[in-house]
Structure 1
């Protein structure tokens, strides 16, 4: 089971999806893509940010563009700064996905 928050970025009004448990699974990326398959995500580019031990994948989809970043500390983030509606759609899909569990957060904690 993957646990996540749908929350604002720190000091930002833009929302993001933070997956804070389960990302160490080898199947995380494929499980995420399977969960959101209804929006037909297509990989555009991959950046390997070796200095931060992070990988960032950029996708186009029927819900618009978004990025998935994953680090070695067990966190993954789905962001879409210029596509907040698409990000909300991804959240709605994950809320119904059997492998994902959403946890509510207080938006005040991220100001």
Structure 2
């Protein structure tokens, strides 16, 4: 099972999905895309930031664009600064997904 927070970025207003348990699994990307298949995500760009040990995968979907940031330390973030409504929709899908569990956080901790 994957656990995630739906929270603001540090010192930011924009929300993001922070997958903090399970993102290190080899099947994370396929499990995530399968969970949100109803919005028909399609990869449009991939950027390997080898100096940061991070990969950025940008997708377009029926609810707009979003990016998956995944690093070698087992963390993943789903970000969509210019598409917060789409991110809210993705969160609502994950809340019902069998493999994902949302863990509530206090937004004040990210100011």
* TM-score category of the 2 structures, normalised to the smaller one: over 0.9
Partner of 2:80: 80
Separation in 2, partners of 1:67, 1:53:
16
Partner of 1:32: 32
Q: What stretches of structure 2 of length at least 5 have no aligned partner?
A: none
Aligned-pair CA distance for 1:74: 1.0
Separation in 2, partners of 1:79, 1:23:
15
Aligned-pair CA distance for 1:24: 1.2
Deviations 1:12-47 (A, max 9, x none): 000000000101111100000000000000000000
Separation in 2, partners of 1:20, 1:53:
17
Partner of 2:17: 17
Please list, as runs of the form range in 1=range in 2, the aligned pairs for 1:33-48 lying within 5 A after superposition.
33-48=33-48
Partner of 1:53: 53
Separation in 2, partners of 1:19, 1:97:
14
Separation in 1, partners of 2:97, 2:57:
21
Q: Which runs of 4+ in 1 moved over 4 A?
A: none
TM-score by length of 2: 0.99
Aligned length: 111
Separation in 2, partners of 1:26, 1:76:
12
Partner of 1:101, secondary structure, is strand
Deviations 1:86-111 (A, max 9, x none): 00000000000000000000000000
